Amino acid sequence: MSLVINEEQNMLKSSAKELLDLKSPISLMRKLRDDNYNQFDSNLWNEMVEMGWTALTIPEEYNGLNFGYVGLGQVIEEMGRKLTVSPMISTVLVSTSMISMSNNDVLKSKLFDEIMSGNKLCTLAHEESSHHSPNIDLSIISNNNEKFILNGKKRFVIDGSISDYLIVSANSEFNGSLELIVIDSKSKGITFNNKVHMDSKIYSDITFNNVEFSKDNFLSVDSDGQKILNKTLEIACVGLAAEMLGIIQQAFEMTMQYLKEREQFGVKIGSFQALQHRSAIMFGEIELCKSIVLKALQAIDSNDKNLSELASLAKSKLGLTSKLVTNEAVQMHGGIGVTDDADIGFFLKRSRVLQRIFGDSNYHLDRVAKFNKY
Amino acid sequence: METQVKVDLTDFRLETRKWLEENCPISMRGPVTDAKQLYWGGRNGKFNSEDQKVWFERMLEKKWIVPYWETKYGGGGLSSVQNNILNQEMQRLGCRKPHINFGISMLGPALLKFATEEQKIHYLNQICRGEIRWVQGYSEPNAGSDLANLQTKAEDKGDHFLVTGSKVWTSYGDKGDFIFCLVRTSSESKHTGISFLLIDMSSEGVSTRPIKLISGKSPFTETFFDSVKVPKKNLVGTLNDGWTIAKYLLTHERQMIGGVGETEKKKALSEVAIESIGITNGLLSNDSIRSKIANLEMNEKIFELTIQRALDEHKAGNNSGAVSSFFKYYGTELAMQKEELRLEVNGFNSTEWTSEESNNGVYARYFCRSKGHSIEGGTHEVQLNIIAKRVLGLPSK
């Protein structure tokens, strides 16, 4: 497959940029933060739903657009440029991908309808420790006749504070397999500890204390939970890499602009070779990032058997490069770069959280080594 | 109509495959591990083996020494799609290139763009027959990164130029038949006083002296011109406009050095590491080296994707933004990191210089040789300057 985006995907990218320029400038992110860390702008979300973004990766037989992940990746990349605050990552990138793989057709249809219409938000409750792991210890389900009970703790749930449904990964006591259960976030026995993180987004620690649910709530069927979870995590990593790609491009462009405007010693600071060489190196690293993100997005759409490795390459490369570029961006902005008045710091802070979600570059480089048997 | 083309291409692929299988000697297949395994041609060209000769002559007869040049220039006249198919089929069988020559990879593209029809017919046909081994005369003792500062002078003497001066870093200068040179034909302006001249190295007054490198090898020479007479017809392009050709050619050179044209295959570093360091519970026993290898492998894989993306963008008519300076910088940087890491992986064995076990210090010498990668064809710093100014538009003052 040719490593370029096609005309349709390019049009989607342009329309995303247009909408976000208008409805989600960086100032909106600042305004929401200043409004006591508001996580949701209903006007913006309605626009996104209207544009069909919630339906992008949903199959046609469920009335979705089946546009594919290269398309979704373009939208997420543009969102990265604007530091857009929305449930797109939790509800669309992560949850929709997971639901797509489910064999519980009744639940699948219901959730797709509710997500596409924008009426319900959904997120994955999976992590249990300070570092990402596909494996879990806690959250045990007991089979009590027709009733099931969930006990345990989850950490770092994206958009947990605004989601209507939680997809919970849990080990079942009765068959030993990992199951995925959709739980109403208002269910009895659930308590939230909502924590603001560096990117001004809220991530929830959630405790499940004898939360009851029925057979109908299982997204996983016949022990396919781990398989669905693993693939979802890989897709999510690629999507997050696309967001990081947006972030580093925007931070880099803002920095190049600054180097061309700011004067010291009677000249533009961009004329200093010390800054030029570091800028040129960043340019190259960003070119590499574009290649791996597109390749990995295409791998999702084409069911490429190398998706696992490509996802890890994308997440590790973008993690490392976003660190380099956001650090340099702040440094090259000088004093203004470390003030809250300047937007550039937001890119640094968002990138640091994104690096960690679903595994940082250390985690994913370790996976790359394992895939290659060393 | 389109179906017809597809059928033809399928036929072409099958015919090509069959022909290669029947005509490429077994010993001419498989990765190149030594430059001697390639035939460089020229007036004194020697074949390393009978198979090498057979392979060259069969490809010559087929006009596939340069398959993608027009037939009137001695090429095979293949379309780019056919040429891709030929390359794929050669790769599939592991066929080595029948002939390597800077005339094909560097001078040829410049002649195609800038030479007169008469020059093209003469020189390109020679190149396609492997008759002339070409070398390049660009750098001078006082014109390295500042290449346009070159001082080798070509004086107009009516029917010929009289060339005096010296070049440095001439790759395989001692083996060259002809040298394509940048010479100064006017001292009025730095960049617009340079011309592009083809000089027969058997002319009176041309001599070379080898430069011994830290690797112990001498792939380069200094080349001296002492009142050398060069016919006027050997000028390529416009007088005093050679800098345009030089820039065009440097782009080709950078792409070549940048690893796009890597000819030698070496064992994966992770495999070497497992042999030399060992494995514990399925993981390489030294965690620090393990993560360095993974990091390098990540960048190598993504760099390859980036080369592919640039080609695909080009095919789609887009400008990928990635320029030859970037490919040269990044490709050589990765190659150098790899040689450095290879030393860490091989431990005490890595620095052996003359032993039999180390194949005469092959990796130690690769390492030393790699230090030149960030210098030749424009230093790292020059490439970064070019990116900063031409791509990013950063100001000069």
The CA angle A225-A355-B290, to the nearest 5 degrees, is 85
Nearest C-alpha of chain A: how many angstroms from B258?
13
Contact A3 B305 (CB under 8 A): yes
Give residue B261's pLDDT. Answer: 39
Give residue B229's pLDDT. Answer: 97
Of B306, B312, B385, Cβ closest to residue A288: B306
CA atoms within 13 A on the CB side of B253: 22
Please answer whether residues A30 and A24 qualify as being in contact, where contact means their C-beta atoms are separated by less than 8 angstroms: no
The CA angle A184-A188-A192, to the nearest 5 degrees, is 75
Nearest C-alpha of chain A: how many angstroms from B250?
19
User: Which residues in chain B are contacts of A280 at CB distance < 8 A?
Assistant: 326, 329, 383-385, 387-388, 391-392
Instruction: Give the pLDDT of chain B (397 residues) as one tens digit per residue.
Output: 455 666 677 899 999 999 999 999 999 998 887 777 889 999 999 999 999 999 999 999 999 999 999 999 999 999 988 998 999 899 889 999 999 999 998 999 999 999 999 999 999 999 999 999 999 999 999 898 889 999 999 999 999 999 999 999 999 999 999 999 999 999 989 999 999 999 999 999 999 999 999 999 888 999 999 999 999 999 999 999 999 999 888 877 776 665 433 444 567 899 999 999 999 999 999 999 999 999 999 999 999 999 999 989 888 888 766 688 999 999 999 999 999 999 999 999 999 999 998 889 988 999 999 999 999 888 999 999 999 999 999 999 7
- Identify the residue among B384, B386, B389, B391 best suited for mutation to test binding to A, counting A beta carbons within 10 A and taking the highest: B384
In chain A, which residue's Cα lies nearest the Cα of B293? Answer: A369
pLDDT digits (tens, 9 = 90+) for A77-101: 999 999 999 999 999 999 999 999 9
Which two tokens mark B33?
A: 């591990």
Please answer whether residues B343 and B269 qualify as being in contact, where contact means their C-beta atoms are separated by less than 8 angstroms: no
Give residue B32's pLDDT. Answer: 81
In whole angstroms, give the CA distance from residue A221 to residue A224. Answer: 6
ipTM of the complex: 0.92
Beta-bridge partners for A268: A263
In whole angstroms, give the CA distance from residue B289 to residue B291. Answer: 5
Say if strands A165-172 and A122-125 run parallel, antiparallel, or are unpaired: parallel
CA atoms within 13 A on the CB side of A21: 6
Q: Could you tell me the pTM of the whole model?
A: 0.87
Nearest C-alpha of chain A: how many angstroms from B397?
5
Contact A369 B305 (CB under 8 A): no
User: Which residues in chain A are contacts of B394 at CB distance < 8 A?
Assistant: 256, 259-260, 270-271, 275-276, 279
Burial track A118-140 (b if 16+ CB lie within 10 A, e otherwise): bebbbbbbbbbeeebeeebeebb
Nearest C-alpha of chain B: how many angstroms from A183?
39
Contact A279 B392 (CB under 8 A): yes
- Residue type present at position B225: F
The helix/strand/coil state of A178 is strand
Please answer whether residues A303 and A1 qualify as being in contact, where contact means their C-beta atoms are separated by less than 8 angstroms: no
Contact B322 A273 (CB under 8 A): no
In whole angstroms, give the CA distance from residue A260 to residue A267. Answer: 10
User: Which residues in chain A are contacts of B283 at CB distance < 8 A?
Assistant: 369-370, 374
Of A283, A287, A316, Cβ closest to residue B306: A287
Place of tokens 């070379």: B208
- Identify the residue among A3, A261, A271 best suited for mutation to test binding to B, counting B beta carbons within 10 A and taking the highest: A3
The helix/strand/coil state of A169 is strand
User: Which residues in chain B are contacts of A264 at CB distance < 8 A?
Assistant: none
Give residue A95's pLDDT. Answer: 98
Average model confidence (pLDDT) for chain A? 96
Three-class SS string for chain B?
CHHHHHHHHHHHHHHHHHHHHHHCCHHHECCECCHHHCCCCCCCCCCCCHHHHHHHHHHHHCCCCCCCCCHHHCCCCCCHHHHHHHHHHHHHHCECCCCCCHHHHHHHHHHHHHCCHHHHHHHHHHHHCCCCCEEEECCECCECCCHHHCCCEEEECCCEEEEEEEEEEEECHHHCCEEEEEEECCCCCCHHHEEEEEEECCCCCEEEEEECCCCCCCCEEEEEEEEEEEEHHHEECCCCEHHHHHHHHHHHHHHHHHHHCCCECCCCHHHHHHHHHCEECCEECCHHHHHHHHHHHHHHHHHHHHHHHHHHHHHCCCCCCCCHHHHHHHHHHHHHHHHHHHHHHHHHHHHCCCCCCCCCCHHHHHHHHHCCCCCCCCCHHHHHHHHHHHHCCCCCC
User: Which residues in chain B are contacts of A374 at CB distance < 8 A?
Assistant: 270, 273-274, 279, 283-284, 290, 293
